[in-house]
Structure 1
Amino acid sequence: MEKLWAPWRIGYILSDKKEDGCVFCNALNSDNDEERLVLYRANLSFIIMNLYPYNAGHLMVVPNRHIDSPLKLTREEQAEMFELVNKGIEVINKVMKPDGFNLGMNLGRPAGAGIDDHIHIHIVPRWSGDTNFMSTVSDTKVISEALKETYNKLKEVMR
């Protein structure tokens, strides 16, 4: 029997998975950026790592305002969020050297939004060959680096 070693998952397995309020608003209002995986704060939005990443380095750009549609963003919020998307891409390129990226928003539960009442833009680094037999045969995704290690590497460069 093959074993998949993922020691960082124990925190999730043992955790209370129900959080009061919005996870993004809670992160924004927290004093502990490392615990909440907040990498960068700007005036109107911030960059946070995805706690359940599709790939190592999976980031999200989130407006400070709790809104459910990009149609509700001001022009200033739109501009700053895309500045942060660019910042995220630049930092990931420097630290992780991916071969490409997926960028996107899932608007509404039917579109795949896990958090549908506070919009966010996903930045997912991709590498040639990052889809392999594990995801195809066993419906399992292997993340090659622990979240805290990735956080520390990106935080060092994201200033």
Structure 2
Amino acid sequence: MTDEQSGFAGLESSADFAAVPDAFQRLWTPHRMVYIEGGPTPHEENCPFCAAPKLDDETALIVARGEHAYVLLNLFPYNSGHLLVCPYRHVALYDDATAEEVAEIAELTQIAMRVVRQVSNCDGFNIGMNQGRVAGAGVADHLHQHIVPRWATDANFFPIIAETKAIPRLLGETRQAIADAWPKAAPTS
């Protein structure tokens, strides 16, 4: 089909198409469709932290597996290398976790810090848990600890002015780099 037949004759750029310009900048995030299509309460029936260990590591973004807990990349990272440490068991609160789960979560967190520091040369970390929906937990029914690497130079205007985070590395690349650098010996918990 020629340009004349398709009705696009003489059009040279997207600016030539019918549109009403606005002041918005577009940041394309197709990976968020999983949550958009899930509706307002996507995790009530299908817990992503229960489903992830059943998948292969690359698909689930898992970087390491322990006996009681595992480590995966956050699908919606605050920064490159934003990890989550989750028990395999579906438990909502830290004080409901077993001593073995708590110990392994702590050990995996320490290993993750060392590995991310090695891989990304970060200057510090934010580490924490949001317990319950009211505390900001996106997946409130399954315990998970955030490990967010920080750099002295990671501040920019995007989050403040545009409510947007710029993530310089793709999730798959980040997962592979962290998984490759992860110590091959299993945690000792």
TM-score by length of 1: 0.90
**Which residue pairs with 2:17 in the alignment?**
none
Q: Where does residue 46 of structure 2 map in the other structure?
A: 21
Largest Rg, 1 or 2: 2
Instruction: Give the gaps of 5 or more residues in structure 1.
Output: none
1:97/1:33 Cα in 2 relative to 1: closer, same or farther (>3 Å)?
same
Residue from 159, 165, 173 that aligns with 1:141: 165
Match of 2:88 among 64, 89, 96: 64
Aligned to 2:146: 122
Q: Given that residues 63 and 73 in structure 2 are in contact (C-alpha distance below 8 angstroms), is that contact kept between their aligned partners in structure 1? A: yes
How many angstroms apart in 2 are the aligned matches of 1:40 and 1:108?
Answer: 25
Match of 2:138, SS? coil
Q: Please list every run of at least 4 consecutive aligned residues from structure 1 whose deviation after the TM superposition is greater than 3 angstroms.
A: 1-6, 11-17
Counterparts of 1:127 and 1:3, CA distance in 2: 26
> Residues of 2 paired with 1:134 and 1:49: CA distance?
22
CA distance in 1, matches of 2:34, 2:90: 29
Structure 1 residue 94: deviation in Å?
Answer: 0.7
Gaps of 5+ in 2: 1-22, 185-189
Determine the structure 1 residue equivalent to 2:30: 10
Deviations 1:91-111 (A, max 9, x none): 001100101000000001111
Give the distance between the partners of 2:70 and 2:35, measured in 1 at CA: 25
Q: What is residue 97 of structure 1 aligned with on the other side?
A: 121
Letter in 2 for 1:79: A
* Deviation readout 1:9-30 (Å, 9 max, x if unpaired): 2343488642651000000122
Q: Which letter maps to 2:30?
A: I
Q: Distance in 2 between matches of 1:67 and 1:113?
A: 13
Code of the aligned partner of 1:10: P
Between the two proteins, what is the percent identity of the paired residues?
A: 38
The CA RMSD measured in Å over matched residues stands at 2.0
Matched residue pairs, number?
A: 156
Deviates more, 1:67-76 or 1:50-59: 67-76
Residues 1:39 and 1:129: Cα distance change in structure 2 (over 3 Å)? same
